[in-house]
Structure formats: C-alpha cells, structure tokens
Structure 1
Amino acid sequence: MSNLSIANSISSYIQQSEQALQTAISQASTGIRVSTPSDDPASAAALVGLQAAAATVDQYTSNTQTSLSQVQLADSVVTSVVSLLNRAITLGTEGANSTNSSVDRQSIAADVNGILTSVVSLANTTFQGQSLFGGTASGTTAFTADATSSTGYTYNGNSNINKISVGDTLTVQVNIPGSTLFDNPSASVLGALSNLAKALASGTSADIGSATNDISSALTAVSQQHAVYGSASNQLTSQESFLAQETVSFTSRETSIVGIDAATAIENLNQAQTSNSTVLAAAAKVSQQKTLLDYLN
C-alpha cells in the first residue's frame, strides 16, 4: 500500500471518528437524536406527520382560549343585565303603588331610564374590537339611539350565530345576537324598559303594573338565553383541558421519535470518545512508519 493510500485511509478513519464523536456530544448536550432527515429518514417522516397534527391542536387551542374569553365576557355582561332587570322590576313594583305622588313616579322613571341607558351600554360591549352582541356584523355598534324607534334605539347588527371549531368534530356557539337577547319582538328588554319609564312618567298604576310584567317576561327570556353562555363556557373549559393533555402527549411522542435518553446518550459519548482516542493513537503509530492495519493486527 502506497504512502498516499495509507494517508488517505488514516484521514478517512479520523474524519469518521470525529463526526461520530461530534454527533455523540450533540446528542448528549441537546437530548436530540434526529436533527436532520438524514439522521433517521423514517423517524424524520414520522415527525413531520406528528408536527402537522400538533399544529392543528395548537389552532384548536387558540380558538378555544379566544372563544372562552369571549363567552366569559358575554356571560358577565348578561349577568349584569339580569341584575339591572331585577332592579327595574323592583322599581316598577314600587311605582305601581297608588300612594306614590307624580313627583315620586317621575323620580322612579328617571331611575328606570338610567337602567335603560346602562343596559344599552352593556349591549354595546366589544370584544377584540368587534361588537359582542352584533351577530357576525363587523365594524358596527350594536345599538344606536333612534328617536323614531319605540324603544329609542335601533339594532345595527345581524341575526347570525357564530360557531367556532375547537376540535375535529366539535363546534361551539359563542354569541347571541343582540336582536335576540335585547330586542326580541316577543320579549324586548329595551322595549320593556322604555315602556316602564313612560308608564311611570305619565301612566296609571295599571299601566305601570303591566309594564313591570313585561320586564319580568323579558327577564325570563334573557335568563333562558343566558344558559347558552353557561353551556358554551363548560364545553370550552372542558375542551381546553383536553387540548392541553393532547399537547403534552404530542410533546412526549415527539421526544420519543427524535430524542435520546440521557443514559444512552452518555454511554454513546463514552464509546465515541474511546473509539476516537483509539483511532488517533493508531494514526500516531502509523506516522512512525507503521500502517494502521499493522497496528490493529
């Protein structure tokens, strides 16, 4: 074997040994066995599929978290509306008492008008820049003042329901249109409050009693719709927990595909260091006029 051939063989052995050592060092320090597809083509292909599935779960998780925040805000708003309607019923009951003077009723009417204003403000709550109760309409305020309307307000949204995908087979309703919740023709919150204020200002005790009954009907309707948010919140909270578990599972599976346990990594590193030392020692011997094969033999 010529000196050139011997030198090339030595160089090749050293390069292979150094590459194996660097791979072992990298695996021991990072805990990752597959850094590039060439390290393990089958594992790399499995990883691609796993990462695609994990990305879908990440999107569902984002949808779930955003939807849960929206639903919780809406639930809080409706809770406040329910409280205001109960207050309006109390005021209406007080106002219907025949012992009240005109001045007393005017004062109570002012309180009811204040409740109406507060309810409209709540109905115009926004979430991430969009009307919470505007249906699926974007860039609009749900209710605006309108002197020509019997309630004093006009609904500017639509009646569409928004359902969000939070799983492969799971969608959740996250909104109730303002036309359903606040201005339902069969039990209008705004209409009932407006009528109660008018009855208190200029109506009879019977008118006030009738208007108060309408508030009670509106409250019943709102309470029924309120349950939609409670159900959605429960579904989303449960799904959030499920998706969190899925994320942990994907992370574990990814580690099992591309990772390497610490004990194995240290063992491989020790073997690579030993092998590298042997190759370098052999190369040193060859440089003293012995071939690598002679040394190994």
Structure 2
Amino acid sequence: MSVVRVTQPMLVASSLRNLQGGLNKYADLQEQLSTGKRVNRASDSPSDATGSMRTRVAISDQNHYVRNAENGIGWLGTVDTTLSSMADSTRRARELGLQGVSTGTSSVNSREALAVEVDQIRADLISQANTTYLGRPVFGGTTAGAAAFDTTTGAYLGDSGQVMRTVADGVQVRVDMPGTSVVGPDGASLFDDLTTLSTALRAGDETSMRTALSNLQGRLNDISTAQATVGASYKRLEQASQKGQDSVVALRTTLSDLEDADLPQTLMNLKMQEVAYQAALGATSKALQPSLIDFLR
C-alpha cells in the first residue's frame, strides 16, 4: 500500500484553493442578492438560461401580437364610428326624399331647399368615406393615397387590397372595410343615388325620387351588414388582445421561476457561506503554522 506524502506546499495550495472556492460561492450569492436573479449568465445554469431565452422570445412575440390587436381595434373602432355616422346621414337623405314625394311639399322652392340639403349630405358623406386612421383611409384598402374617394365625383380611388393584422401564430384579422362594399360601385354608388335624388327633387320627378329612395334603403342595408362584419372582427381582436396579455403574464411567471432568486433563501445561504468561509479561514490559519524553515530565516 503506497503512502502519499503531503508536503507543506501541497497543503498551502489545497487550502488556498478551498478558500478561493468558498469565496467564489460567497461572491455568487452576493451577486444573486444584488441583482435578484439566480441566473445572471448562461454558465450559472445552461438549461435554465436556454429556457429563459426561449421564454423571452415568446414574450416578445406575444407583445407584438397584442400591439397588432390594439392597432386593429383602433382601425375597426374608427370604421364603426364612421359607418354609424354615414347611416345617420343616409337616413336623413331618405327623409328628405320622402318629403319630396309627398303632396304637402311639392312647391319648387321647397323642393329646391330639399335638394340643397341632399347635396350637402352627399358632400358630407364623401368626406366621411375618406375618414383616415393614422393617416390611412379606412375605406381605401391598401392604397398609398390620402383619400379613398374623389371629393368631387365620389369615384373610388382605393384598391381591393386588405389591411390585415396578425394577432396570433397563423391568425390574421382584416381591420379595414372596402369602400365599394359600403357605398357601392362607381356609377351606381350611394353618391350617385344622392345625385339622382337631388336632380329628381329639383325636377319634381316623383318616379326618379322613388327609385333613389329604394336605392338608399339598399345602401342602408349594406352599411348595416358592414357594421355587423366590423363588430365581429372587433370582438375577435378584443379576445386576441386579452389572450395575448394573459399569455404575457403567464410567460413572465415562467421567466421569474427560471431566473429569479428566492431572496430569503439566498440571504440565508449567504450567511451560512459567510460562516463557513470564516471557519475555513480560522482552520487554515491553524493548519498552516510556521515551519522550521520559517524559524531559521
């Protein structure tokens, strides 16, 4: 059986190595207390660090989805408010048309007054149809222009593109409303119906008035259908936003479990490590007594 001879340099080196190890543990615990994090670098816990990075990416994705949903809610809120206003204006135009076909308001002057108000409603409706959100027309599709309709003729200037918002992985929601589905195509649009009604009022053409009134009722139905579509999309975005926010909360809890230090436990460990280190210092000072060489110097 061989015997290993322990020399003074070996004892010194071993003692210093152990002291340094204890000091490193003490420093690590101090860092955890000061940062509040159990994992401050990948070497602290490679598996937890990997999970932490993945969780942070997931949090970033969910925050992006929530921002998209909130932006979409802004779009659809603007569309819905505008549609309600357009419906009110269109109903007022129908009321004027009904007055025009009644026998009690058949004078030229009264019909002219009605026609003037119809013209004003038409101009106002074109302005409403050009409503924008963050500088983009909500009824213009993906057009880069500032308006969806020509302010004079009412001709459609937008395109058939769809403004989409990604609110979850693989889930997109449309947040605009095609202008032609609300007011109709060029040549047979809400604005054309109002022009027809205005002309018929001035001419006293009851047949044309009734045709325009029937068309306006159809436009009101189209606006109502558009509002229902917007309402359904709005609800989806609200749910997506809430789901995304809930996911962020859950992911942050997971991240905390992976990274955060248990401060009371860490403080206790620090005190224990401090006591252990002080004890090691005392033991080492006694073990490394001066040698005979030290006395002979």
> Which TM-score bucket, shorter chain as reference?
0.7 to 0.9
Pick the aligned partner of 2:58 from 53, 59, 72: 53
1:161/1:175 contact within 8 Å kept: yes
Aligned residues: 285
Measure, in 1, the Cα distance between the counterparts of 2:185 and 2:212. 16
SS in 1 for 2:103: coil
Measure, in 1, the Cα distance between the counterparts of 2:24 and 2:246. 38
Q: Look up the match of 1:144.
A: 150
Alpha-carbon shift at residue 2 of structure 1 (Å):
6.3
TM-score (norm: length of structure 1): 0.87
Q: Look up the match of 1:41.
A: 46
Shift of the 20–195 alpha-carbon distance from structure 1 to 2, 3 Å rule, reads: same
1:34/1:259 contact within 8 Å kept: yes
RMSD: 2.3
State the identity as a percent: 25
Alpha-carbon shift at residue 73 of structure 1 (Å):
1.0
Measure, in 2, the Cα distance between the counterparts of 1:115 and 1:18. 82
Say which is worse superposed, 217-226 or 166-175, in terms of deviation: 166-175
Measure, in 1, the Cα distance between the counterparts of 2:237 and 2:127. 27
CA deviations on 1:123-182 (whole Å, 9 max, x unpaired) are 111122222111112234211145xxxxx2221111223332211242212112112222
For 2:52, give the aligned amino acid: L
Q: Look up the match of 1:132.
A: 138
Pick the aligned partner of 1:87 from 65, 85, 92: 92
1:189/1:219 contact within 8 Å kept: no
Shift of the 209–267 alpha-carbon distance from structure 1 to 2, 3 Å rule, reads: same
Alpha-carbon shift at residue 279 of structure 1 (Å):
3.1
Measure, in 1, the Cα distance between the counterparts of 2:87 and 2:187. 17
SS in 1 for 2:144: coil
User: Which runs of 5 or more residues in structure 1 are unaligned?
Assistant: 147-151, 291-297
User: Which runs of 5 or more residues in structure 2 are unaligned?
Assistant: 1-5, 292-297
The 5-angstrom pairing of residues 1-297 of structure 1 reads 8-100=13-105, 101-146=107-152, 152-184=153-185, 188-285=189-286, 289=290
Alpha-carbon shift at residue 284 of structure 1 (Å):
4.8
Structure showing greater radius of gyration is 2
Alpha-carbon shift at residue 244 of structure 1 (Å):
0.7
1:14/1:276 contact within 8 Å kept: yes
CA deviations on 1:204-245 (whole Å, 9 max, x unpaired) are 233223212211111111111111110010000011111111
2:37/2:261 contact within 8 Å kept: yes
Measure, in 1, the Cα distance between the counterparts of 2:198 and 2:134. 33
Q: Look up the match of 1:149.
A: none
1:140/1:157 contact within 8 Å kept: no
Measure, in 2, the Cα distance between the counterparts of 1:201 and 1:68. 43
Measure, in 1, the Cα distance between the counterparts of 2:167 and 2:187. 33
Shift of the 22–184 alpha-carbon distance from structure 1 to 2, 3 Å rule, reads: same
For 1:127, give the aligned amino acid: Y
Alpha-carbon shift at residue 5 of structure 1 (Å):
5.1
